[in-house]
Amino acid sequence: MFFLFALDASAYLDPGTGSIIIQALIAGFVGAAFVIKIYYKRIKDFFANIFSKKK
């Protein structure tokens, strides 16, 4: 209930805050790409087993 009727905040976000957020997003994307690169064969084999036709 308190958060629904909150008054204006007197907060300050310096210009560096935006760059930290952007840096964290980029690091997350690069980290995910690195994990996918490392485990690419396992991921490919997993989906190949799921979608392959069984004899």
Q: Identify the pLDDT of residue 33.
A: 94
Q: Identify the pLDDT of residue 17.
A: 86
pLDDT tens per residue across span 7-45: 776 777 788 888 999 999 999 999 999 998 999 999 899
First-to-last CA distance in the chain?
Answer: 60
d(CA 43, CA 37): 10
Residue 51: its H or E element: helix 40-51
- Cα distances from 49 to residues 12, 35, 44, in angstroms, run 53, 21, 9
3-state secondary structure labels for all residues of 6-33: CCCCCCCCCHHHHHHHHHHHHHHHHHHH
